[in-house]
Amino acid sequence: MSRNDRSSGSKYGGRQGGGERKKSHARGNSPVNREERAEKSTARGNAPIPKKQGDKTDGIRLNKYIANSGMCSRRDADIYIAAGNVTVNGEVVTEMGHKVKLTDEVKFDGRRIKPEKPEYVLLNKPKGFYVTGNVEKNNRTVMDLIANASKSKLDPVGKLDTQATGLMFFTNDGKMAKNLANPKNGLRQIYHLELNKEVSYEDLQKIKEGVTLEDGKVNVTDISYIENKPKREVGIELRSTKNHVVQRIFKSLNYEVVKLDRVVYGGLTKKDLPRGHWRVLSKQEIINMGNL
Protein backbone atom coordinates (compact mmCIF):
# COMPACT_ATOMS: atom_id res chain seq x y z
CA MET A 1 0.00 0.00 0.00
CA SER A 2 1.36 3.41 -0.97
CA ARG A 3 1.80 6.30 1.47
CA ASN A 4 -1.14 8.10 -0.10
CA ASP A 5 -3.30 4.98 0.15
CA ARG A 6 -2.52 4.60 3.84
CA SER A 7 -3.35 8.26 4.38
CA SER A 8 -6.63 8.20 2.49
CA GLY A 9 -7.85 5.04 4.18
CA SER A 10 -6.84 6.04 7.69
CA LYS A 11 -9.07 4.78 10.52
CA TYR A 12 -8.54 8.15 12.21
CA GLY A 13 -10.84 9.92 9.77
CA GLY A 14 -8.40 11.24 7.10
CA ARG A 15 -9.94 12.87 4.05
CA GLN A 16 -10.08 10.52 1.09
CA GLY A 17 -9.10 11.63 -2.38
CA GLY A 18 -6.89 14.42 -3.59
CA GLY A 19 -7.25 18.16 -3.35
CA GLU A 20 -6.28 20.66 -0.70
CA ARG A 21 -5.21 19.01 2.59
CA LYS A 22 -7.38 19.91 5.61
CA LYS A 23 -6.73 19.55 9.32
CA SER A 24 -7.97 16.30 10.80
CA HIS A 25 -11.02 16.54 13.03
CA ALA A 26 -9.62 13.68 15.06
CA ARG A 27 -6.73 15.89 16.18
CA GLY A 28 -9.14 18.25 17.86
CA ASN A 29 -9.21 20.81 15.02
CA SER A 30 -12.85 20.39 14.10
CA PRO A 31 -14.66 23.69 13.46
CA VAL A 32 -17.33 22.78 16.01
CA ASN A 33 -19.25 25.79 17.28
CA ARG A 34 -18.99 26.92 20.91
CA GLU A 35 -22.34 25.46 22.01
CA GLU A 36 -21.57 21.98 20.58
CA ARG A 37 -18.17 21.94 22.29
CA ALA A 38 -19.73 22.95 25.60
CA GLU A 39 -22.34 20.17 25.39
CA LYS A 40 -19.75 17.51 24.55
CA SER A 41 -17.40 18.71 27.28
CA THR A 42 -20.15 18.65 29.88
CA ALA A 43 -21.25 15.16 28.80
CA ARG A 44 -17.72 13.90 29.47
CA GLY A 45 -17.84 15.32 33.01
CA ASN A 46 -15.61 18.29 32.19
CA ALA A 47 -16.35 21.89 33.05
CA PRO A 48 -18.23 23.78 30.32
CA ILE A 49 -16.25 26.24 28.24
CA PRO A 50 -16.28 29.61 30.02
CA LYS A 51 -18.53 32.27 28.57
CA LYS A 52 -17.17 35.56 27.37
CA GLN A 53 -17.12 38.43 29.81
CA GLY A 54 -20.32 40.36 29.79
CA ASP A 55 -22.41 37.30 28.93
CA LYS A 56 -25.65 37.29 30.90
CA THR A 57 -24.99 33.73 32.07
CA ASP A 58 -21.84 34.69 34.02
CA GLY A 59 -21.78 33.35 37.60
CA ILE A 60 -22.58 30.17 39.49
CA ARG A 61 -25.97 28.48 39.71
CA LEU A 62 -27.72 29.40 42.92
CA ASN A 63 -28.35 25.80 43.98
CA LYS A 64 -24.65 24.98 43.56
CA TYR A 65 -23.71 28.12 45.52
CA ILE A 66 -25.92 26.93 48.39
CA ALA A 67 -24.62 23.35 48.23
CA ASN A 68 -21.01 24.58 48.26
CA SER A 69 -21.78 26.53 51.42
CA GLY A 70 -22.59 23.22 53.15
CA MET A 71 -26.22 24.04 53.88
CA CYS A 72 -27.75 21.16 51.93
CA SER A 73 -27.52 19.21 48.67
CA ARG A 74 -28.19 20.84 45.29
CA ARG A 75 -31.45 18.95 44.96
CA ASP A 76 -32.65 20.15 48.36
CA ALA A 77 -31.45 23.67 47.52
CA ASP A 78 -33.89 23.73 44.59
CA ILE A 79 -36.72 22.96 47.00
CA TYR A 80 -35.69 25.77 49.36
CA ILE A 81 -35.33 28.19 46.44
CA ALA A 82 -38.79 27.35 45.11
CA ALA A 83 -40.23 27.83 48.61
CA GLY A 84 -38.82 31.37 48.79
CA ASN A 85 -36.23 30.66 51.50
CA VAL A 86 -33.36 32.22 49.56
CA THR A 87 -32.62 35.87 48.84
CA VAL A 88 -30.00 37.43 46.59
CA ASN A 89 -29.05 41.01 47.36
CA GLY A 90 -32.19 41.36 49.45
CA GLU A 91 -34.59 39.99 46.83
CA VAL A 92 -36.35 36.63 47.07
CA VAL A 93 -35.33 34.38 44.18
CA THR A 94 -37.51 31.41 43.17
CA GLU A 95 -36.24 30.98 39.61
CA MET A 96 -34.63 27.61 38.89
CA GLY A 97 -31.18 28.02 37.33
CA HIS A 98 -30.71 31.56 38.59
CA LYS A 99 -27.02 32.49 38.61
CA VAL A 100 -25.19 34.62 41.13
CA LYS A 101 -21.74 36.15 41.40
CA LEU A 102 -19.28 35.76 44.25
CA THR A 103 -19.85 39.42 45.09
CA ASP A 104 -23.60 38.91 45.58
CA GLU A 105 -25.11 38.71 49.07
CA VAL A 106 -26.91 35.38 49.32
CA LYS A 107 -28.97 34.52 52.38
CA PHE A 108 -30.41 31.12 53.28
CA ASP A 109 -33.24 31.30 55.84
CA GLY A 110 -32.09 34.81 56.71
CA ARG A 111 -28.43 33.86 57.28
CA ARG A 112 -25.71 34.96 54.88
CA ILE A 113 -23.76 32.09 53.34
CA LYS A 114 -20.51 31.75 51.42
CA PRO A 115 -19.88 29.29 48.57
CA GLU A 116 -16.95 27.46 50.11
CA LYS A 117 -16.47 23.82 49.36
CA PRO A 118 -17.02 21.85 52.61
CA GLU A 119 -13.76 20.45 53.96
CA TYR A 120 -13.11 18.00 56.77
CA VAL A 121 -9.81 17.46 58.57
CA LEU A 122 -8.76 15.16 61.43
CA LEU A 123 -5.80 16.07 63.66
CA ASN A 124 -3.93 13.96 66.20
CA LYS A 125 -3.22 16.76 68.67
CA PRO A 126 0.10 16.76 70.59
CA LYS A 127 0.48 17.92 74.16
CA GLY A 128 1.07 21.62 74.79
CA PHE A 129 -1.05 23.11 72.00
CA TYR A 130 -3.94 25.41 72.81
CA VAL A 131 -7.27 25.07 71.02
CA THR A 132 -7.62 28.83 71.32
CA GLY A 133 -4.49 30.82 72.14
CA ASN A 134 -3.47 34.34 73.03
CA VAL A 135 -1.77 35.94 70.04
CA GLU A 136 0.04 38.47 72.24
CA LYS A 137 1.57 35.67 74.28
CA ASN A 138 2.53 33.82 71.09
CA ASN A 139 0.77 30.64 72.21
CA ARG A 140 1.07 27.61 69.95
CA THR A 141 -2.40 26.56 68.80
CA VAL A 142 -3.93 23.64 66.92
CA MET A 143 -4.63 26.09 64.06
CA ASP A 144 -0.87 26.31 63.50
CA LEU A 145 -0.78 22.55 63.02
CA ILE A 146 -3.46 22.51 60.30
CA ALA A 147 -2.42 25.78 58.64
CA ASN A 148 -1.67 23.99 55.34
CA ALA A 149 -4.72 21.74 55.41
CA SER A 150 -7.03 24.16 53.61
CA LYS A 151 -7.29 27.65 52.17
CA SER A 152 -10.68 27.94 53.87
CA LYS A 153 -11.11 28.85 57.52
CA LEU A 154 -11.62 25.60 59.41
CA ASP A 155 -13.02 25.59 62.93
CA PRO A 156 -12.54 22.89 65.59
CA VAL A 157 -15.60 20.95 66.68
CA GLY A 158 -15.35 20.53 70.44
CA LYS A 159 -12.30 21.12 72.59
CA LEU A 160 -9.33 19.43 74.20
CA ASP A 161 -7.31 20.83 77.09
CA THR A 162 -3.85 22.18 76.32
CA GLN A 163 -2.12 19.23 77.99
CA ALA A 164 -4.52 16.66 76.49
CA THR A 165 -3.70 14.74 73.31
CA GLY A 166 -5.65 12.92 70.63
CA LEU A 167 -8.25 13.42 67.97
CA MET A 168 -9.67 16.78 66.98
CA PHE A 169 -12.06 17.37 64.10
CA PHE A 170 -12.09 20.55 61.96
CA THR A 171 -14.49 21.71 59.27
CA ASN A 172 -16.02 24.73 57.55
CA ASP A 173 -19.30 22.84 57.26
CA GLY A 174 -21.40 24.77 59.74
CA LYS A 175 -24.36 22.43 59.52
CA MET A 176 -22.29 19.34 60.39
CA ALA A 177 -20.38 21.16 63.14
CA LYS A 178 -23.64 22.24 64.76
CA ASN A 179 -25.02 18.71 64.52
CA LEU A 180 -21.93 17.10 66.06
CA ALA A 181 -21.82 19.62 68.90
CA ASN A 182 -25.49 19.11 69.77
CA PRO A 183 -25.69 17.31 73.17
CA LYS A 184 -28.89 15.55 72.05
CA ASN A 185 -27.01 13.71 69.30
CA GLY A 186 -24.47 12.20 71.72
CA LEU A 187 -21.27 11.90 69.71
CA ARG A 188 -19.29 8.79 70.65
CA GLN A 189 -15.88 9.49 72.19
CA ILE A 190 -13.33 7.15 73.77
CA TYR A 191 -10.47 8.33 75.99
CA HIS A 192 -7.38 6.57 77.28
CA LEU A 193 -6.58 7.98 80.73
CA GLU A 194 -3.80 7.80 83.24
CA LEU A 195 -4.71 8.77 86.83
CA ASN A 196 -2.52 9.82 89.73
CA LYS A 197 -3.30 6.54 91.51
CA GLU A 198 -4.90 3.17 90.93
CA VAL A 199 -8.65 3.23 90.37
CA SER A 200 -10.62 0.87 92.57
CA TYR A 201 -13.07 -1.56 91.01
CA GLU A 202 -15.83 -0.04 93.16
CA ASP A 203 -15.18 3.41 91.68
CA LEU A 204 -15.23 2.00 88.17
CA GLN A 205 -18.69 0.63 88.89
CA LYS A 206 -19.85 3.98 90.29
CA ILE A 207 -18.72 5.72 87.14
CA LYS A 208 -20.35 3.10 84.92
CA GLU A 209 -23.66 3.66 86.71
CA GLY A 210 -23.43 7.39 86.06
CA VAL A 211 -21.93 10.28 87.99
CA THR A 212 -23.88 13.39 88.97
CA LEU A 213 -21.89 16.62 88.60
CA GLU A 214 -22.87 20.21 89.38
CA ASP A 215 -24.41 20.60 85.90
CA GLY A 216 -26.24 17.29 85.85
CA LYS A 217 -25.78 13.56 85.54
CA VAL A 218 -23.23 12.12 83.13
CA ASN A 219 -24.04 8.73 81.63
CA VAL A 220 -21.02 6.63 80.74
CA THR A 221 -21.31 4.03 77.97
CA ASP A 222 -18.41 1.91 79.23
CA ILE A 223 -15.30 2.06 81.39
CA SER A 224 -12.60 -0.50 82.09
CA TYR A 225 -8.94 -0.99 82.94
CA ILE A 226 -6.51 -0.89 80.02
CA GLU A 227 -5.38 -4.45 79.33
CA ASN A 228 -1.85 -5.29 80.48
CA LYS A 229 -1.43 -1.85 82.07
CA PRO A 230 -1.38 -0.68 85.70
CA LYS A 231 -4.81 -0.08 87.23
CA ARG A 232 -4.27 3.64 87.16
CA GLU A 233 -4.81 3.49 83.38
CA VAL A 234 -8.42 3.17 82.19
CA GLY A 235 -10.46 3.57 79.03
CA ILE A 236 -13.75 5.43 79.15
CA GLU A 237 -16.44 5.78 76.49
CA LEU A 238 -19.12 8.43 76.75
CA ARG A 239 -21.27 10.74 74.63
CA SER A 240 -21.31 13.88 76.74
CA THR A 241 -20.34 17.31 75.38
CA LYS A 242 -19.94 18.94 78.82
CA ASN A 243 -16.74 20.93 79.35
CA HIS A 244 -13.87 19.07 81.04
CA VAL A 245 -16.33 16.24 81.72
CA VAL A 246 -13.76 13.43 82.02
CA GLN A 247 -11.56 15.32 84.46
CA ARG A 248 -14.60 16.32 86.55
CA ILE A 249 -15.91 12.76 86.73
CA PHE A 250 -12.69 11.51 88.31
CA LYS A 251 -12.21 14.60 90.45
CA SER A 252 -15.61 13.90 92.03
CA LEU A 253 -14.13 10.60 93.24
CA ASN A 254 -10.81 12.14 94.36
CA TYR A 255 -8.71 11.20 91.37
CA GLU A 256 -6.57 13.48 89.23
CA VAL A 257 -6.20 12.92 85.49
CA VAL A 258 -2.49 12.93 84.67
CA LYS A 259 -2.79 12.08 80.96
CA LEU A 260 -5.79 12.22 78.64
CA ASP A 261 -5.74 10.94 75.08
CA ARG A 262 -8.85 10.90 72.84
CA VAL A 263 -8.50 7.79 70.71
CA VAL A 264 -11.95 7.68 69.06
CA TYR A 265 -14.09 10.57 67.85
CA GLY A 266 -17.39 9.57 66.28
CA GLY A 267 -16.30 6.74 63.99
CA LEU A 268 -12.80 8.16 63.49
CA THR A 269 -9.66 6.63 65.01
CA LYS A 270 -5.93 7.46 65.24
CA LYS A 271 -4.97 4.63 62.88
CA ASP A 272 -2.09 5.67 60.61
CA LEU A 273 -2.19 9.21 62.00
CA PRO A 274 0.98 10.08 63.98
CA ARG A 275 0.91 12.65 66.75
CA GLY A 276 0.99 16.20 65.39
CA HIS A 277 -0.20 15.16 61.92
CA TRP A 278 -3.52 15.73 60.16
CA ARG A 279 -5.37 14.12 57.28
CA VAL A 280 -8.41 14.83 55.12
CA LEU A 281 -11.43 12.59 55.69
CA SER A 282 -12.43 10.11 52.98
CA LYS A 283 -15.80 10.42 51.24
CA GLN A 284 -17.18 7.50 53.23
CA GLU A 285 -15.98 9.00 56.52
CA ILE A 286 -17.70 12.27 55.66
CA ILE A 287 -20.93 10.41 54.97
CA ASN A 288 -20.61 8.52 58.25
CA MET A 289 -19.99 11.71 60.22
CA GLY A 290 -22.97 13.35 58.57
CA ASN A 291 -25.18 10.48 59.63
CA LEU A 292 -24.21 10.62 63.31
pLDDT lower than 50: segments of the chain:
1-32, 34-57
Q: Nearest to residue 287, comparing CAs of 155, 118, 116, 166? A: 118
State pTM to two decimals: 0.66
Cα dihedral 254, 255, 257, 258 sign: positive
Q: Residue 158, SS3?
A: coil
Phi, psi of 270 (to 5 degrees): -85, 10
Instruction: Walk me through the domains of the chain, giving residue ranges and CATH numbers.
Output: 60-112 (3.10.290.10), 120-183+269-290 (3.30.70.580), 188-265 (3.30.2350.10)
pLDDT at 135: 57
Q: How many Å separate Cα 173 from the centre of its chain?
A: 6
What distance in Å separates the CA atoms of residue 278 and residue 22, rounded to the nearest whole number?
Answer: 55
- Of all residues in the chain, the percent with pLDDT exceeding 90 is 60
pLDDT at 245: 94
pLDDT at 156: 94
Residue 254 amino acid letter: N
